[in-house]
Structure 1
């Protein structure tokens, strides 16, 4: 193609694109077209391709998107779902408009809620249905194969072996069983009146010999050491006595000093060459050898005062005091020839003098301590002055504190009693040390969760037995030890208990010195014994016996209350036989054997316990079990009252095997035998009610068996229903004197009597009189006279039902009238 043809085609295309419009023609060069294309591309990419695609899609379907956008912007949900504008009280139109819109909104909201609940309910029903199908499929998949599917596979039976004399299941572990044996032996010695062992020492020995746990043995060792004090009386408050008696402080210091001497001996035995031990085996030589071991390096003597021949003086004095030997400390100080005033004061303290010269020397030494030794570079010298003068409790002497024992011994050494306090100088008291350990430092400081034995020892050594035991009782592993520690201290009258047994496990009284607490031993033992009282009832009763000295707020013995709760919750024949024994063959009111017979005292016995349990069961409407307990207790009057109440409910029913009526029949047989011996113990009114109900039981037995003649004889003998209309008033008067239990059965008696009369009427009317119920008497009477007599009896029954001053059931009256009408 040449240029001429190309030009002609371009002109032709130009002519085809020409439009008959008045718009001016725009001519662009290639660069201008490229620039316009780039601007259009930038504008499209800036607005986003989604909007462009939306415009193209909706435009292809004939939708005008700009106009649709304007319509959507005009829509507003404010009128339907936003809060209504408040209107004035006088704007009636606005008020009515708001009420109308409120009603519409409430209908919409209620409909929405109901739809949501319906959908939720349908959803969960479908989910549960699918789960059920899935579980069914899984269970079907777990069904084992049948033997015929695998004929070659033979099933092998696993042989089982059972002991010849299997022991019953016990919820007590090995440690608890060992503790329980000690408790049983202790209670037996008390019941027999022999001398009782010290439970703290017995348990400490048990922990040392039988428990494979050195930490538990150490806890018992601490408690044993702290309990070696003068025996207290139950009339003295243990808390106040412990706070005022210096023996507890002395015992704690002696225990820590004894342990430190053991530690020094171990260090010396490991370094016999350096120790150069010799001489008389006493604290003086022990401390000298120990100091020779720990101060063998020259740099260890840096900063120490009064060093002679490589032996520092003040460590010798300090470790002598740390070992509890004031004499050794005085001897070392005397040999050095230094500090004569301190030597004189220590000599007076050793001799126990309290003259005025001692106070003067203390004042001078305290002044010297505050002026010079407060910034002394020898920590041992500063500690010795602080211990001897019992001052500066805020100085913790960190250079010497290598363990909790050191810290506790130092605090115990600088204690001053309330009567010996110098109020011009800050000093530490026993209660202040207890608050420091329990409140300021607490469990977090001692890492009590991981080091429970250590925290227990710190509390016990500061005389806080109750808080220490409560801390141990929180964990299941240490709870048996805590319970028996509390029991052992309580038997020594050293455990502070609250005034009320309903207090929390750890509490305090308003007049108690802070931070002392009281431990509710009753709650602790009951919580512990409840875990095994059903499987190990005998052991549980042994623990409850330890609560015999406690009284509840209503004056009831706590031991009886605990055993009563046990029997109320487990009142079966096996438990009753275990606790009370078996009935004596010669005397139905005497029971031999039983666990509780071992705890017989002048205040209570098993018969009073049975009466107490029976009263509680009766209050809980467990009348059948209460009857058993009342019979054991010998309370015939209460037994008869409950039997009458139960008989009135079931006496009219036919006897069925295993029913309450059959069980009551067995009870009445035992009562009849017992009443033959002790009828005078029962009130006359109760006796009459029981006699009538017993005869009514025979009446209904004859009635259900079809023995109408014998049944009618029982009713005529008791004069409960009239034979004719003239006897109605007499029967009504007699009925008013009856107990409510008899009146409750009256509708059933009237119905049964009317049925008997009606059956006799039908029999007489359909026979010649030979088959009469009344034998020879009816044979001699005319048939019409007999029928007339039966109508009179039926009339008397309906009259009595209408005459009794009690509300009869409507069905009873209807039935009586219906049968009477059928006789006419």
Structure 2
């Protein structure tokens, strides 16, 4: 190709690539094109050949990589675990979305935490196991079979001495033992019919004198104060009566006021010079000295109203009310000569006058408070108006609330009953305060886990005894105090119990005013006494005696159920003797002694308890122990039935020392002596079955001892087996009148009887076969006649086995037929 043709081809290509656009053409020389190509090549090789290849690969598959990158950048995993944006109350869709996402996040968080804890536990378990193996190897290396390798290591033998009759170690600590002694003494007073003591006061005195714990003593003091009200009746529901009785509110206020007076006395004693205490020792002078100590600095009077000679009026009035003395507050107001309407109202309230003029005066003062005093700079003046008028429950009075006691006293002071509420304004009720303490604030607000006594006192002072005791019972250290607090309140008819003993420890009935709860005392006592009922059975029974008034869902006594469960789990001879005593020699059906002997009530005694335990043991197939309990209960019919059932299983066995058969022999001796006096209490067919089985047992005793003739006489006298084929029908008829237990033993009886007949046949035949040919023919005929009689007896036994309406084991039939054939 020459240059002309090359030029023409270049022009043709130029014309083909020329587009009809207004864009100016770009003209580059060959050197410029080469330079641009080199720059593009260097840029691609330096910045990312991989990116270019990725673009080419994904582009060939139809993927737009830049657009995909933008979508990925919009995704952020970090936002999934960020707090959710708040939504308004009316945004239902947003609320549901937030709740769903919260649920998902909580599940993820809980799963992560549980996995981490499980891994952590497994790690430490493996570490401890490895450490244990290493320590074991080291100890084995130090003191092993080659003691001479370590001459300095000396093994010392420690002498130990054990008692001849060791007693189990008590699981009760010192505090629990002191409580248990008081419970035993209290139950003894009830059994003897003497006047019982107040358990709340008794336990409070015990805590004060014997427990080295001031916090526990303080909790008992709170309970004593709150329980010092008019005694309640068992026919009245404690929850409803507590909510409607204002005496519990007054008791709580009085307790807080007395404690605050003690606090003011301590402050004054530490500042006697400033306090200048003097005059008659009353609340009026006490408050004056305390205010003098508290407001001795001039800056402490800033913002206070009615200050005269450095002595503010409203703190004097407030602290007088805080101490529970309305008279001292009225006296301070009268001396100041201010607020005559408030003075008049407080005077009427002090006198207990609630006429229509009082309500009108209250309305005027409430209007004045809402218009002017609501924004008053003197917190004490505002607090006085709020207390006297019982209004504005949402004002927290932050300047005056220095402790939980102050807050609680303020809330109790502004309470109004349902019958005294003014529905025009918002007021606080008793149930509202209880809900505020238990539901709104709760355990986290009061730091209850670390300040257990404080939270208990707050709940108890607001009348929530059940919730306070349940909270106290959660920790092992405080559980003994909680259990005995519940017992003491229940004895005073002040503890709310659920309708069913199967309810949880803390529950609520549908008709209960919220937030009141009910405490399951039965569950609490059982949970407490189960820990030591094996080692301290007597103390455990004393606690179960306190449950005598409770009924289970099936109508049984809760005390009997608890003791029955104890005996079912541990029914040995020692436990039975401890609970029921020993047999009276004069009367075999009377047991003397035993712990339960003193617990007799109209609903239960130890004989009904023995019957209940026997029934439960019989259901669990512990028939030997059930027989003992039935004998104690005097229920011979049930005892005989179980004895018959057991005898039918072991009566054919050879005697062995310590076997069930031997133990049943001792039981039979006791039952024979008892039947001699109370035979009429048992059904006739049961006695017949028992008597026959007793004879069968004697038969097998003789059979195993080799006394075949005496054994055969027992069977013949009881008409159990025939001696001839004519007696088969009669024996079968006799069996039908007996119990099924005899039928179960019949195969063994037939085999034993056949063995006796065959043994006698062999003996007779052997003696006849060895006789002299010169013997007497008469003697031979007698022996032959005896052999025919024995064959007839064998034939009768096989006929009876075939005639009995009971399917004999195949081995029994084969054995009987085999022995009969051998006799021919």
User: 1-side partners of 2:152 and 2:207: how far apart?
Assistant: 60
What does residue 498 of structure 1 align with?
A: 498
Q: Which residue does the alignment assign to 2:651?
A: 651
* Corresponding residue for residue 566 of structure 1: 566
Give the superposition deviation at 1:585.
2.0
Q: In structure 2, do the counterparts of structure 1 residues 792 and 139 end up closer, same or farther at CA, with 3 Å as the change threshold?
A: farther
SS in 2 for 1:415: coil
Q: CA deviation at 1:768?
A: 2.5
Q: After superposition, where does 1:656-735 map in structure 2 within 5 Å?
A: 656-735=656-735
1:568–1:616 contact (8 Å) kept in structure 2: yes
Aligned equivalent of 1:100: none
Counterpart Cα distance in 2 of 1:420 and 1:351? 18
1:11 maps to which residue? none
8 Å contact from structure 1 (residues 379, 397) kept in 2:
yes
Contact 1:581–1:595 at 8 Å: present in 2 too? yes
Task: Output the CA distance in 2 between the equivalents of 1:601 and 1:757.
Answer: 61
Distance across 2 between alignment mates of 1:757 and 1:288: 116
Deviations 1:30-85 (A, max 9, x none): xxxxxx9xx99x999x999xxxxxxxxxxxxxxxxxxxxxxxxxxxxxxxxxxxxx
Deviation of the 1:146 alpha carbon: 6.2
The structural deviation recorded for 1:163 is 8.6
Show CA shifts across 1:734-783 (max 9, x none).
Answer: 11111000001011111111111111121122112899xxxxxx978522
Give, in whole Å, the separation in 2 of the partners of 1:546 and 1:511: 27
Distance 1:663 1:141, change over 3 A: farther
Contact 1:276/1:289, CA 8 A, preserved across alignment: yes
Q: d(CA) in 2 for partners of 1:344 and 1:419?
A: 24
**Alpha carbons of 1:781 and 1:276: their partners in 2 closer, same or farther (altered >3 Å)?**
farther
Partner of 1:426: 426
Q: What does 1:724-763 correspond to in 2, within 5 Å?
A: 724-763=724-763
The match for 2:416 is 416
Query: Which shifted more, 695-704 or 487-496?
Result: 695-704
In the alignment, structure 1 residue 322 sits paired with structure 2 residue 348:
no
Q: Deviation at 1:153? A: 8.9
Q: CA deviation at 1:154?
A: 7.8
Q: Given the alignment of the two structures, is residue 616 of structure 1 paired with residue 609 of structure 2, yes or no?
A: no
- TM-superposed CA distance for 1:148, in Å, is 8.1
- The C-alpha deviation readout for 1:398-442, integer Å capped at 9, x for no partner, is 010000000000000000000000000000000000000000000
Q: Which residue is equivalent to 2:308?
A: 308
Q: How has the CA–CA distance of structure 1 residues 370 and 185 changed in structure 2, closer, same or farther, with 3 Å as cutoff?
A: same
Task: Provide, for residues 161-186 of structure 1, a one-character-per-residue CA deviation record: whole Å limited to 9, x for no partner.
Answer: 67999875100000000100110111
* Pair 544,346 (structure 1): closer, same or farther in 2 beyond 3 Å: same
For residue 537 of structure 1, what is the aligned residue in structure 2?
537
In the alignment, structure 1 segments of 5+ residues that lack a partner are 1-35, 49-129, 772-777
Change (3 A) 1:701 1:769: farther
User: What residue in structure 1 maps to residue 20 of structure 2?
Assistant: none
CA positional deviation for 1:145: 3.1
For 2:235 and 2:722, how far apart are their aligned partners in 1? 71
- Please provide the CA RMSD for this pair: 2.6
2:98 alignment counterpart: none
Q: CA 1:752–1:779 in 2, change beyond 3 Å: closer, same or farther?
A: farther
Secondary structure in 2 matching 1:212: coil
Aligned residue number for residue 800 of structure 1: 800
Tell me the distance in 2 between the aligned counterparts of 1:698 and 1:606.
35
After superposition, the Cα gap between the structure-2 partners of 1:420 and 1:769, relative to the gap in structure 1 and judged at 3 Å, is farther
| 2:678 alignment partner, SS class | helix
1:437 and 1:459 in contact (8 A); partners too: yes
Tell me what 2:35 maps to: none
SS of aligned partner of 1:767: helix
2:657 is paired with a residue whose SS is: coil
Deviations 1:551-576 (A, max 9, x none): 11111111111111100000000100
Q: Is the 8 A contact 1:732 1:804 kept in 2?
A: yes
* Secondary structure at the counterpart of residue 427 of structure 2: coil
After superposition, the C-alpha distances for 1:651-708 in whole angstroms (9 at most, x for unaligned) are 0000111110010011111111111222222111111101100000011111112211
Deviations 1:592-620 (A, max 9, x none): 11101111223322111111111111111
- Other-structure match for 1:172: 172
Given that residues 143 and 153 in structure 2 are in contact (C-alpha distance below 8 angstroms), is that contact kept between their aligned partners in structure 1? no
Q: Which residue of 2 aligns with 1:386?
A: 386
Q: Pairwise mapping of residues 60-459 of structure 1 onto structure 2 (< 5 A)?
A: 144-145=144-145, 156-160=156-160, 168-459=168-459
Rounded to whole Å, the distance in 2 between the matches of 1:627 and 1:560 is 19
User: Measured at CA, do residues 770 and 400 of structure 1 come closer, stay the same or move farther in structure 2, by a change above 3 Å?
Assistant: farther
Q: 1:350 and 1:176 mapped to 2: Cα distance?
A: 47
Q: Kindly provide the CA deviation profile for residues 609-660 of structure 1, in whole angstroms up to 9, marking residues without a partner as x.
A: 1111111111111100001111111111111111000000000000111110
Which residue of structure 2 aligns with residue 103 of structure 1?
Answer: none
Q: Does the aligned pair in 1 maintain the 2:374–2:382 contact within 8 Å?
A: yes
Q: Hey, what does 2:576 align to over in structure 1?
A: 576
Q: What is the CA distance between 1:135 and its match in structure 2?
A: 12
Q: 2-side partners of 1:47 and 1:392: how far apart?
A: 77
Counterpart position of 2:124: none
Q: Helix, strand or coil: the match of 1:677?
A: coil
C-alpha distance in 2 between matches for 1:658 and 1:617: 21
Distance 1:695 1:482 in 2: 60
TM-score norm. by structure 2 comes to 0.81
1:157 deviates by 3.8
Q: Is the 8 A contact 1:769 1:779 kept in 2?
A: no
Distance, in Å, in 2 between the alignment partners of 1:565 and 1:782 is 68
629-638 vs 223-232, which deviates more?
629-638
Separation of aligned partners in 2, 1:492 and 1:779: 96
Distance 1:470 1:620, change over 3 A: same
**How far is the alpha carbon of 1:817 from its aligned partner?**
1.2
Q: Which moved more, 1:472-481 or 1:612-621?
A: 612-621
| Whole-Å separation in 2 of the counterparts to 1:142 and 1:523 | 52
Residue range with higher mean Cα deviation, 139-148 or 595-604: 139-148
What residue is the counterpart of 2:469 in the other structure?
A: 469
Do the aligned partners of 2:557 and 2:603 also contact (CA within 8 Å) in 1?
A: no
* Distance in 2 of aligned mates of 1:610 and 1:165: 27
Can you give the 5+ residue segments of structure 2 that lack an aligned partner in the other structure?
1-37, 51-129, 772-777
Q: What is the count of residue pairs matched by the alignment?
A: 697
CA pair 770-485 structure 1, distance change in 2 beyond 3 A: farther
Query: What is the alpha-carbon distance in structure 2 between the residues aligned to residue 716 and residue 405 of structure 1?
Result: 92
Find the aligned partners of 2:182 and 2:136 in 1 and give their Cα distance. Answer: 55
- Give the direction of change, closer, same or farther, for the CA distance of 1:381–1:186 in structure 2 (3 Å limit): same
Determine the C-alpha separation between the residues in 2 that align with 1:254 and 1:643. 68
After TM superposition, give the deviation of residue 391 of structure 1 in Å: 0.2
- Distance in 1 (CA, whole Å) between partners of 2:801 and 2:309 is 121
